[in-house]
Amino acid sequence: MKKVTVIGQLHQSGLDILYGHGGLEITEFTDPKVPVSKASITGADALLVRTGNLTTEDIRDAVNLRVVSRHGVGCDNLPVDALSARGIPVTIVGPVNAISVAEQTLTMMLTLTKRVAEYDRAVRSGDWEFRNSLRSNELAGKTLLLLGLGRIGSEVAKRAAAFDMNILAYDPYQSAEVIRSAGATRIEVWFGALGSADILSIHLPLSDATRNIIDAKALAAMKPGAIILNAARGGLIDEAALFHELGGRMASGGAGLDVFEVEPPPLNTPLLTLPNVVVSPHSAAMTEQSARKMAEVSAHNVIAGLEGGLDPALIFNRKALADRGQHET
């Protein structure tokens, strides 16, 4: 029996695949308040990780480990370098959550430009005349700057194009044709485009190179009424600098945040006190449809990792594994 440890609550459709396969001994850790036992990691042949963090120390004694299946696309919560050094593939779910995250990004964009939360509070407090403040805006004709035009960024671009927005995209890994087909104009220097952006939407992985990429200097280059959206990863924005700007020079702008530096954010997090900040609990991908598909793909990746036949497009560290193979030959 191969041992599979599932970390985080998985949609039932994914569990059905694992339990229905046969030959697998499955251990589930669904309550984030209950720590994952060391034995469940060190004795595992496969790990399916939805939530929580794994460290190099965690997997050091996992001598039977064959695959780590990530329930998502970001792997900043995994010791990818250490796994790659041991020849262990780290798999992701590919584009199955892209539409859900893109829709959440557009939802936050509309909520902020149309001042939905402010109008809602005004009606509930009896301030009907707030309607005459003329604080909302149209998306048509506004400039959207996308940092990253991968699976999710491309879906955001397609939807923004339907609102007749002017779309600029920075992604050095995408060809001009791919960017053009998404309805965007390619830019070579993202920082120089900040001043022309009415809305900035971030679609980057979190790494040493991208941590706090939107810092005080970047925020100072933006329009006072600009809107910033982040449904990618906490840590891409310097939250202290964002609070300072949105509470001062950029008070007429706003931010839509699905992710935070610390999750869950403490209730005394300064950004949560601002009326021009709209938040959600890292739930952009958690629609019924997306949760089901992510669970199913991550379960299939476990089986493929144990039996062979992994889809190369779903191996996050495939280049590192290929390089390792070349060095060993």
Is 203 annotated as catalytic? no
| Catalytic member of 66, 115, 282, 300 | 282
Is 233 annotated as catalytic? yes
Q: b vs e for 220-254, b when ≥16 Cβ sit within 10 Å of the residue's Cβ?
A: eebbeebbbbbbbbbbbbbbebbbbbbeeebeebb
| Catalytic member of 50, 70, 186, 233 | 233
Is 261 annotated as catalytic? no
- As a whole number of angstroms, the distance between CA 298 and CA 215 comes to 34
The 8-class DSSP code of residue 315 comes to: B
Q: b vs e for 155-175, b when ≥16 Cβ sit within 10 Å of the residue's Cβ?
A: bbbbbbeebebbbbbbbeebe
Q: Are 93 and 286 in contact (CB under 8 A)?
A: no
Mapped to the 3 state alphabet, what secondary structure does 72-94 carry?
CCCCCCCCHHHHHHCCCCEECCH
Residue 67: which of 52, 84, 50 has the closest Cα? 84
| Catalytic member of 25, 57, 138, 263 | 263
Active site residues: 233, 263, 282
